């Protein structure tokens, strides 16, 4: 069975002898070949040039027998295409060119033409589809409207995104306008990823858990639901949500094909409660990839053993792989998952 078919079957909750494997944030600073390329090009240059994005995406598949690749890109290319550029602080962290503070700032963001300005992502996906053929699955992705709003309003990286929370509460009309704009562009953007050859798309609702319980629907979930309702039947959608153990029914109501859950959640218990109609993805602690191969092998086997009674599991980390991950630990993970059989 090809990796591509294995991913698609897992998304459809079909029986498999082992779960498919890919790793969130596969393209990363833990690989020497990535660091070598980074000495020649900036992060944004690699994102914006389709041939470079393709090269970075394929670096992991050249090393590890993964079942899928995720296109090398960034969630903030969407606000950038709408007129809110971004960069990085010298000591790390994201810096938007300006912060969304008023309704006038929201008006500065352009919906028309934004998807066209993101065409380089679709071109990278098309190049990757040609290279991968039917052997490996290819994933596209985006940030959820709320997660994009967090960076847009706070002006970049922030601890807890207090300005975004205050803006949503104190300026609800302007906030809804902002979310409508992000959602409209995202629908076009994701459709283009699908048309270019992506097999599935992951929506990163990384900061959805920051929403107060009584505002989660209005500030985050309703906008994800607009994405899923617009794209239903066109491409499988995976929803990644962090720190959301208490919101699983609400996440299911968003209508995605799969829920990707972080490592704070017992994945087997979550799958049992969710039932057989939705697949799950995750959720090895990424910190384990900084330990040793034996610990990785043991934890991976334990997770797969606990998940073996259930169909519809994609093996992944509970969060993105870190720059300090050890290559021998990633190798141990890949070999353990690929060599696993639920019949053993």
CATH value at residue 203:
3.20.20.210
Within a domain: residue 153?
yes
Domain that holds residue 153: 3-324
Residue 311 covered by a domain: yes
Whether 343 is covered by a domain: the verdict is no
- Please say whether the beta carbons of 37 and 27 come within 8 A: no
In a domain, 140, yes or no: yes
Predicted local confidence at residue 25, as pLDDT: 80
Is residue 333 a part of any domain in this protein? no
In this structure, the dihedral spanned by the alpha carbons of residues 207, 269, 296 and 138, taken in order and rounded to 10 degrees, is -60
Contacts of 159 (CB under 8 A, 6+ apart): none
Asked whether residue 270 is domain-assigned, the answer is: yes
C-alpha distance from residue 137 to each of 60, 68, 311 (Å): 13, 4, 19
The answer as to whether 43 is a domain residue is yes
For the chain, percent of residues with pLDDT exceeding 90: 93
Is there a contact between 258 and 279 (Cβ–Cβ < 8 Å)? yes
**Is 334 within a domain?**
no
pLDDT at 139: 98
Q: Report the distance separating Cα 315 and Cα 337, nearest Å.
A: 8
Q: Alpha-carbon distance 230 to 275, whole Å? A: 24
Element spanning 105, H or E: helix 103-108
Helix (H/G/I), strand (E/B), else coil: 302: helix
Residue 323 makes CB contacts below 8 A (sequence gap 6+) with 28, 29, 30
- At 312 the pLDDT is 98
What lies within 8 Å, CB to CB, of 141 at 6+ separation is 70, 71, 73, 75, 201, 202, 203, 204
Q: So what's the pLDDT on residue 342?
A: 64
Residue 21 is given by DSSP the state B
Q: Is 43 exposed, middle or buried (0-12, 13-18, 19+ CB in 10 A)?
A: middle
Q: Give the pLDDT confidence score for residue 344 in this predicted structure.
A: 52
Please answer whether residues 30 and 21 qualify as being in contact, where contact means their C-beta atoms are separated by less than 8 angstroms.
Answer: no
Q: How many domains does the chain have?
A: 1
What is the separation of C-alpha 121 from the centre of its chain, rounded to a whole number of angstroms? 15
pLDDT at 85: 97
Low-confidence ranges of the chain (pLDDT < 50): none
């Amino acid at each position: 069975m090809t990796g591509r078919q294995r991913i698609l079957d897992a998304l459809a909750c079909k029986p498999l002898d082992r779960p498919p494997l890919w790793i969130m944030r596969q393209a990363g600073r833990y690989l020497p070949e990535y660091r070598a390329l980074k000495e020649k090009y900036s992060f944004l240059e690699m994102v914006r040039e389709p041939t470079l994005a393709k090269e970075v995406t394929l670096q992991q598949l050249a090393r590890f027998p993964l079942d899928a690749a995720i296109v090398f890109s960034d969630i903030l290319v969407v606000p950038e295409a709408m007129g809110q550029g971004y960069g990085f602080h010298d000591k790390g962290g994201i810096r938007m060119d300006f912060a969304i503070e008023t309704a006038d700032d929201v008006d500065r963001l352009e919906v028309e033409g934004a998807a066209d300005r993101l065409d380089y992502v679709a071109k990278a996906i098309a190049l990757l589809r040609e290279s991968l053929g039917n052997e490996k699955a290819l994933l596209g992705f985006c940030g959820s409207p709320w997660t994009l709003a967090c960076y847009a309003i706070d002006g970049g990286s922030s601890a807890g995104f207090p300005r975004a929370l205050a803006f949503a509460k104190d300026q609800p009309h302007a906030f809804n306008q902002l979310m409508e704009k992000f959602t409209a562009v995202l629908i076009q953007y994701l459709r283009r990823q699908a048309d270019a050859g992506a097999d599935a798309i992951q929506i990163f609702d990384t900061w959805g858990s920051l929403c107060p319980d009584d505002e989660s629907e209005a500030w985050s979930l309703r906008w994800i639901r607009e994405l899923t309702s617009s794209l239903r039947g066109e491409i499988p959608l995976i929803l990644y949500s962090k720190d959301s153990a208490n919101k699983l029914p609400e996440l299911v109501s968003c209508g995605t094909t799969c829920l990707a859950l972080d490592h704070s959640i017992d994945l087997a218990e979550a799958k049992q409660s969710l039932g057989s109609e939705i697949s799950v993805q995750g959720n090895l602690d990424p910190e384990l990839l900084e330990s040793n191969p034996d610990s990785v092998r043991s934890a991976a086997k334990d997770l797969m053993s606990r998940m073996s009674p259930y169909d519809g599991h994609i093996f992944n980390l509970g969060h993105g792989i870190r720059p300090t991950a050890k290559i021998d630990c990633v190798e141990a993970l890949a070999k353990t998952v690929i060599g696993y059989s639920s019949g053993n």
